[in-house]
Amino acid sequence: MTDTLTSREDTHELLRFATAGSVDDGKSTLIGRLLFDSKALFDDQWDAVEAVSAGRGDEYTDLALLTDGLRSEREQGITIDVAYRYFSTPERKFIIADTPGHIQYTRNMVTGASTADLALILVDARKGLVEQSRRHAFLCSLLRVPHMVLCVNKMDLVDYDEAVFKRIENEFSAFATKLEVPDLTVIPVSALKGDNVVNRSENMPWFQGPSLLHHLEKVHIASDRNLVDVRFPVQHVIRPHSSDNHDFRGYAGQVASGVMKPGDEVMVLPSGFTSRIASIETADGPLEEAFPPLSVTVRLEDELDVSRGDMLCRPGNQARVSQDIEAMVCWMDEARPLKLRGKYAVKHTTSDVRAIVKDVQYQLDINTLHRDETATELGLNEIGRVTLRTTKPLLCDDYRRNRSTGGFIIIDEADNRTVGAGIIV
């Protein structure tokens, strides 16, 4: 039974990482270099990129073309939306999200960073930190991406000067102390030339740290998951109407956090009724325990009224049940700002509710982290703290404690677009 899950070959750990940083700081080039030097490219992918680059008259093959695959991206020479790339080394599997630096596309950077275990923030050595580097670093810390790597890029253009590196390292570290950055590593690189990307650089003997790839392979991520708080948002009720399975009634969902076992006492929120787990089913047979990120079907010993949007947890460790939500919101809509008393749809775990903005407490200045308490709305790419009142209670935790039950999205009810990201505080 449980063995089928572990015995499948390839038990490599998976690391998801996202690039971040200002436009033209070399994010896509760095990903191209990483793929190229670790021999993760297919011949025909490389040939196609070489041909496009040669056709444009580039002096050298533009590695950014490996991820900048859209027509407009190639015309404008910038990244517009996230590109996902997949590669593995003998150590690990990687999912890369190469995100855009342009401020107009911040929402796409947020998309890529929301699921990342690690953020790779690039800074151009010649320019140092700019507003967009700060904005992205702030967003990564807000999204609680657990690991951060600052790559001081284009070291080839500053003669691989240690003093330049140190200055940027210090400046960033000072900024990072104002944010919550649990784990920061700083590496000087040249994405274009390959220094310290896959191979240690000969041009920077003063740098004793690992190459970027080495760090990505070794950074410890296993303890990032929450295995303590049982949270099981019910997605779908499975009730086959067939004679073989007449009495089957199971609650399907993906374990958000914690470990569940048959026999465990559970409480159903928001109703507060309790029961015990009768069994944890999968198509491959029952499991002895379920933990994130498994998708399972839970059966309870008692007939309770449980439906989509409800949550199973332990009676002694419950999610908060609340209609008054305090959250940091990142606004992503260019058409209309978030407004005081504005009404929106909210999706949180498996539950869909409506919400009204009761208060805009402040808007945050990204450079100084100063709070503007006179703000009454949030425009595109602005971040602020708001209070929402929802039509039905959310079954939630602070985002810092639980990424799965602490995040929500805000949807415009008129055009159905996703217009905001919320982080419960």
Partner 1 sequence: MSDYRISHIAALEAEAIFIFREVAATCQRPVLLFSGGKDSIVMLHLAQKAFAPAPIPFPVMHVDTGQNFAEVIDYRDRRVAEAGVQLIVASVQDAIDRGMVTEPPDGTRNRIQTPVLLEAAEKYQFDALFGGARRDEEKARAKERVFSFRDDFGQWDPKNQRPELWNLYNGRVHPGEQIRVFPLSNWTELDVWRYIGSEDIPLPEVYFSAEREVVDRGGMLYAVNEFIKPREGEETFFEKVRYRTVGDANLTAGVRSDATTIDEIIAEVEVTRITERGATRGDDKTSEAAMEDRKREGYF
Q: Which of residues 45-84 bind Mg ion (CB under 5 A)?
A: 79
CB of 117 to Mg ion, least distance (A): 20
| Nearest CA-CA partner of 280 in 301, 296, 263 | 296
H helix count then E strand count, the chain:
9, 22
60 lies in the binding site for partner 1 (CB under 8 A): no
> Among residues 4 and 170, whose Cβ is nearest to partner 1?
4
Under rule CB under 8 A, which residues in 224-243 are in contact with partner 1?
225, 227, 235-236, 238-242
> Among residues 252 and 340, whose Cβ is nearest to partner 1?
252
Residue nearest to ligand GTP (CB): 101
The only residue of 182, 263, 272, 293 in contact with partner 1, by rule CB under 8 A: 293
CB of 260 to partner 1, least distance (A): 11
Count of residues that bind partner 1 according to CB under 8 A: 81
- In this structure, the strands spanning 13-21 and 250-254 are unpaired
Count the neighbouring beta carbons within 10 Å of the beta carbon of residue 307. Answer: 11
38 lies in the binding site for partner 1 (CB under 8 A): no
Under rule CB under 5 A, which residues in 7-46 are in contact with Mg ion?
27-28
Q: By the criterion CB under 6 A, which residues form the site for ligand GTP? A: 23-29, 64, 78-79, 100-102, 153-154, 156-157, 190-192
Cα 376 to Cα 384: distance, rounded to the nearest angstrom: 10
Contacted by 323, from Mg ion, partner 1, ligand GTP, none: CB < 5 to 8 Å by type: none
CB of 46 to ligand GTP, least distance (A): 16
Contacted by 403, from ligand GTP, Mg ion, partner 1, none: CB < 5 to 8 Å by type: partner 1
| Nearest CA-CA partner of 218 in 149, 172, 165 | 149
Instruction: Give the alpha-carbon dihedral of 60, 200, 95, 89, to 10 degrees.
Output: 110
List all residues 6 or more positions away from 321 whose beta carbon is below 8 Å from its beta carbon: 269, 270, 393, 394, 395
> Among residues 15 and 125, whose Cβ is nearest to partner 1?
15
The only residue of 23, 294, 321, 380 in contact with partner 1, by rule CB under 8 A: 294
3-state class (DSSP) for residue 353: strand
85 lies in the binding site for partner 1 (CB under 8 A): yes
| Nearest CA-CA partner of 347 in 418, 254, 269, 251 | 418
Cα 209 to Cα 191: distance, rounded to the nearest angstrom: 17
Stretch that binds partner 1, among 24-32, 132-140, 264-272, 413-421 (CB under 8 A): 413-421
Answer yes or no: are the C-beta atoms of 281 and 272 closer than 8 Å. Answer: no
The only residue of 90, 222, 316, 368 in contact with partner 1, by rule CB under 8 A: 222
Answer yes or no: are the C-beta atoms of 397 and 319 closer than 8 Å. Answer: yes
Residue 275 Cα distances to 39, 311, 314, angstroms: 53, 13, 10
246 lies in the binding site for partner 1 (CB under 8 A): no
136 lies in the binding site for Mg ion (CB under 5 A): no
Structure tokens at 163: 């003093």
CB of 367 to ligand GTP, least distance (A): 19
> Among residues 34 and 255, whose Cβ is nearest to Mg ion?
34
The only residue of 61, 291, 322, 358 in contact with partner 1, by rule CB under 8 A: 291
> 402: burial class by Cβ within 10 Å (0-12, 13-18, 19+)?
buried
CB of 66 to partner 1, least distance (A): 8
> Among residues 80 and 179, whose Cβ is nearest to partner 1?
80
